[in-house]
């Protein structure tokens, strides 16, 4: 029997090693490539680990931000840091606003009885079924007409609408887990509904609010379609747009492209690993990335 | 008594309160989803090309009937189906295998589960960049590995021809979609009570029989949800196409999402673009409903 248990564990670890290699392998290769000289990247067979560790491509991006056009630094590298800041701005604003507006919208859906509750819940969910591409067409048209194209505020607003249904859904299911008695006790003590939300529901929902905010941040950080269609210049490019400019340009060196890729996933990957508990619980309470 | 007064001083009715609380969120959603949706329907019924301003006119369902008799709709539709079916199959099979592994108890399980979030957190555009590098025809890691292991005798352009471009597109796309499917299936597996398995073992059921007659039927509700969501996502695929293949080579990966993009934002034909986008939406919705009904029936049996 002991033999069997040992065999089972060995089989599990072989499988786990395969999963591990498949999960982080491709990304680690990207990181390893980013620390090499361009000419080392052209080696056959490939050089697995950087030797020496080369930081030139990183320096190029950090210094590029303050370099002029004639510095020889590729255009994409020069605008990358700006786009990075834009991404933080957009994703951060969306996370904060979505959780605030979402919490108020989720409360009645979780706790109040009113006509049309089911309809509202369904409509909010169904809005996610409409392909973003079909909405993008009129949105771009209107944004250009009213002069809201090429502004990051527009990106905040648009992303908000795609994130909100998701946040509302997540929070209303979280609110339902808070015992009704606590709320009733507050009501008996004379709290208004608004006070109940502020003093009882929200403080007790901190884990739920945190996972909603983190998910909102991550989903917005990775958004590409609207970021592409609603931006025309570096003032409003987000990092995903600049990454696409890198990746589709054959004149830029591989190592610059790769480094941009690595840099633009550092925030989401750090977030994901630090807050993994919140993320997993948020993901499992019904919902998806898309 | 105090509380009696508090409730007597009637606040708003629950309905009014609900309206008040949800107003900001509902307004944002309405402004950016419902209104554009209405406009998209409007555009789809018009001749509306930005290259020919001043010639906008109502054409009824003409855009739709044009698409339905055009191979530029049917060929991308078939490509979309091919891509979606392959991608969903790959995602579900691998996610199921990984979730079965993670459902076992072993030291290090939590770490492995957490690391699944690495591909999940990678934005689709960066994922496309990553695979573009891995699949590089001269210097890519995939070429190097295949060459070293003797699978190929010379380096190849994996994205240069069918069917390999479709296969690699599916792999690249699936790589970031497998983690979420895995976590969802794992949560489904964990709701299956352990004593069912124990009594099955007592009855002499093999591991394969246990999987087929216990795990699979009990996992079916979660499995169907994941299949539906992944199907909807795969039908809307766009980001990875934009960076990795741009619909090529020679339209081999021209899915509906890409066709809508080129029609609207390159040819600037907003009427035609809106109508084909509507068709994509309708197909996605129809599939979701079909799957829901079909898979739900399966659960009842």
* Residue bearing tokens 């909807």: B232
Chain centroid offset of residue A21 CA: 24
Q: How far apart are CA A19 and CA B114, in angstroms?
A: 12
Nearest CA in chain B to A19: B98
Distance from CA of B32 to the nearest CA of A (A): 6
User: Structure tokens of A257?
Assistant: 């492209």
Q: How far apart are CA B268 and CA A290, in angstroms?
A: 26
Picking from A136, A139, A225, the nearest residue to B239 by CB comes out as A225
Q: How far apart are CA A137 and CA A253, in angstroms?
A: 34
Q: Which has the closest alpha carbon to B200: B185, B218, B182, B188?
A: B218
Q: Considering only CB atoms, which chain A residues are within 8 Å of B121?
A: 218, 265, 268-269, 271-272
Write down how long chain A is: 290
Within 13 Å, how many C-alpha atoms sit on residue B254's CB side? 16
Q: Which residues in chain B land under pLDDT 50? A: 1-9, 300-301
In B, residues 240-259, which contact A (CB 8 Å cutoff)?
Answer: 242-243, 246, 257
- Please say whether the beta carbons of B288 and B282 come within 8 A: no
Looking at residue B297, its pLDDT comes to: 61
Q: Considering only CB atoms, which chain B residues are within 8 Å of A289?
A: 120, 180
- Please say whether the beta carbons of B91 and B174 come within 8 A: yes
List of residues 6+ apart from B115 with CB closer than 8 A? A20, A23, A24
Q: Which helix (H) or strand (E) holds B58?
A: strand B57-58
- Please say whether the beta carbons of B139 and A40 come within 8 A: no
Cβ–Cβ of B123/A109 closer than 8 Å?
A: no
Dump pLDDT digits (tens) for B88-110.
999 999 999 999 999 998 999 99
- Please say whether the beta carbons of B48 and B56 come within 8 A: yes
Per-residue H/E/C for A139-197: HHHHHHHCCCCCCHHHHHHHHHHHHHHHHHHHHHHHHCCCCHHHHHHHHHCCCCHHHHH
Q: How far apart are CA A159 and CA A93, in angstroms?
A: 10
- Please say whether the beta carbons of A41 and A239 come within 8 A: no
Total-model pTM: 0.90
Q: Which helix (H) or strand (E) holds A101?
A: helix A75-111
DSSP assignment string, B29-55: HIIIIIHHHHHHHHHHTEE-BTTSTT-
Could you read off the pLDDT tens digit of each residue along chain A, which spans 290 residues? 688 888 989 999 999 999 999 999 999 999 999 999 888 888 878 888 888 888 888 888 888 777 777 777 888 888 888 999 999 999 999 999 999 999 999 999 888 888 888 888 888 877 777 888 889 889 998 898 888 888 999 999 999 988 998 899 889 888 988 888 888 888 888 888 888 889 889 999 998 999 899 999 999 999 999 999 999 888 899 999 999 998 888 888 889 899 999 999 999 999 999 998 888 888 877 544 33
- Please say whether the beta carbons of B163 and B101 come within 8 A: no
Distance from CA of A269 to the nearest CA of B (A): 6
What's the sign of the alpha-carbon dihedral A171, A172, A176, A180?
positive
Looking at residue B296, its pLDDT comes to: 62
Looking at residue A130, its pLDDT comes to: 81
- Please say whether the beta carbons of A260 and A243 come within 8 A: yes
Picking from B124, B126, B139, the nearest residue to A41 by CB comes out as B139
User: Structure tokens of A8?
Assistant: 């089972």
Distance from CA of B301 to the nearest CA of A (A): 25
Cβ–Cβ of B113/A141 closer than 8 Å?
A: no
Q: How far apart are CA B111 and CA A199, in angstroms?
A: 36
Dump pLDDT digits (tens) for A89-116.
999 999 999 999 999 999 998 888 888 8
DSSP B215: I
Nearest CA in chain B to A18: B98
Q: Which has the closest alpha carbon to B273: B66, B102, B20, B112?
A: B66
What value, to the nearest 5°, has the Cα angle with vertex B297 and ends B295 and B299? 75
Q: How far apart are CA B84 and CA B232, in angstroms?
A: 9
Looking at residue B91, its pLDDT comes to: 97
Looking at residue B3, its pLDDT comes to: 44
Q: How far apart are CA A31 and CA B48, in angstroms?
A: 46
Nearest CA in chain B to A271: B121
Q: Which has the closest alpha carbon to B50: B260, B268, B266?
A: B268
Whether A6 has its CB under 8 Å from any CB of chain B: the answer is no
Q: Considering only CB atoms, which chain B residues are within 8 Å of A161?
A: 28-29, 31-33
Whether B281 has its CB under 8 Å from any CB of chain A: the answer is yes
Looking at residue A162, its pLDDT comes to: 85
Alpha-helix runs per DSSP H in B190-252? 194-202, 207-210, 216-235, 239-244
């Amino acid at each position: 029997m002991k033999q069997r248990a040992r065999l089972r564990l060995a089989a599990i670890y072989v499988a786990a090693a395969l999963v591990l290699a498949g999960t982080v392998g491709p990304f680690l290769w990207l990181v390893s490539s980013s620390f090499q000289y361009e000419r080392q990247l052209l080696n056959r067979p490939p050089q697995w680990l950087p030797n020496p560790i080369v930081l030139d491509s990183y320096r190029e991006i950090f210094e590029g931000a303050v370099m002029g056009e004639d510095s020889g630094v590729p255009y994409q590298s020069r605008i990358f840091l700006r786009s990075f800041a834009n991404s933080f701005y957009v994703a951060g604003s969306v996370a904060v606003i979505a959780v605030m507006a979402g919490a108020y919208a989720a409360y009645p859906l979780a706790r109040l009885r009113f006509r049309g509750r089911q309809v509202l819940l369904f409509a909010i969910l169904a809005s996610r079924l409409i392909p973003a591409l079909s909405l993008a067409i009129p949105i771009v048209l209107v944004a250009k007409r009213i002069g809201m194209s090429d502004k990051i505020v527009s990106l905040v607003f648009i992303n908000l609408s795609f994130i909100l249904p998701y946040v509302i859904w997540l929070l209303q299911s979280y609110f339902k887990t808070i015992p009704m008695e606590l709320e009733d006790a507050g009501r008996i003590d004379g709290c208004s509904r608004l006070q109940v939300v502020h003093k009882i529901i929200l403080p007790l929902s901190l884990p739920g609010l945190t996972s909603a905010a983190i998910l909102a941040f991550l989903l917005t950080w990775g958004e590409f379609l609207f970021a592409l269609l609603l931006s025309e210049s570096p003032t409003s490019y987000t990092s995903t747009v600049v990454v696409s400019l890198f990746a589709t340009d054959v004149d830029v060196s591989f190592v610059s492209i790769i480094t941009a890729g690595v840099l633009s996933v550092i925030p989401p990957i750090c977030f994901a690993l630090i807050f993994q508990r919140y993320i997993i619980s948020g993901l499992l309470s019904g919902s998806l990335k898309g | 008594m105090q509380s009696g007064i508090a409730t007597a001083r009637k606040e708003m009715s629950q309905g009014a309160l609900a309206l008040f609380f949800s107003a900001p969120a509902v307004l944002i959603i309405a402004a950016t989803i419902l209104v554009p949706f209405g406009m998209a329907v409007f555009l789809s019924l018009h001749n509306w090309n930005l290259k020919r301003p001043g010639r906008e006119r109502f054409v009824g369902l003409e855009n739709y009937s044009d698409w339905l008799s055009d191979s530029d709709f049917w060929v991308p539709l078939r490509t979309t189906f091919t891509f979606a079916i392959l991608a969903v199959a790959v995602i579900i099979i691998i996610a199921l295998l990984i979730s079965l592994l993670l459902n076992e108890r072993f030291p290090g399980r939590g770490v492995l589960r957490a690391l699944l979030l690495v591909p999940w957190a990678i934005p689709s555009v960066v994922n496309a960049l990553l695979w573009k590098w891995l699949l590089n025809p001269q210097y890519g890691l995939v070429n190097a590995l295949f060459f070293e292991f003797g699978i190929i005798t010379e380096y190849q352009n994996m994205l240069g021809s069918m069917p390999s471009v479709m296969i690699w597109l599916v792999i690249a796309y699936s790589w970031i979609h497998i983690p979420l499917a895995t976590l969802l299936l794992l949560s489904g597996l964990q709701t299956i009570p352990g004593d069912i398995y124990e009594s099955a073992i007592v009855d002499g059921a093999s591991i394969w029989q246990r999987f087929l007659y216990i795990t699979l039927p009990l996992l079916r509700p979660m499995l169907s949800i994941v299949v539906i969501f992944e199907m909807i996502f795969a039908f809307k695929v766009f980001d990875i196409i934009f960076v990795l293949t741009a619909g090529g080579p020679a339209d081999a990966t021209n899915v509906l999402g890409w066709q809508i993009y080129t029609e609207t934002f390159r040819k600037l034909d907003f009427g035609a673009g809106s109508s084909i986008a509507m068709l994509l939406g309708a197909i996605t919705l129809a599939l979701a409903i079909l799957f829901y009904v079909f898979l739900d029936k399966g659960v009842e049996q």
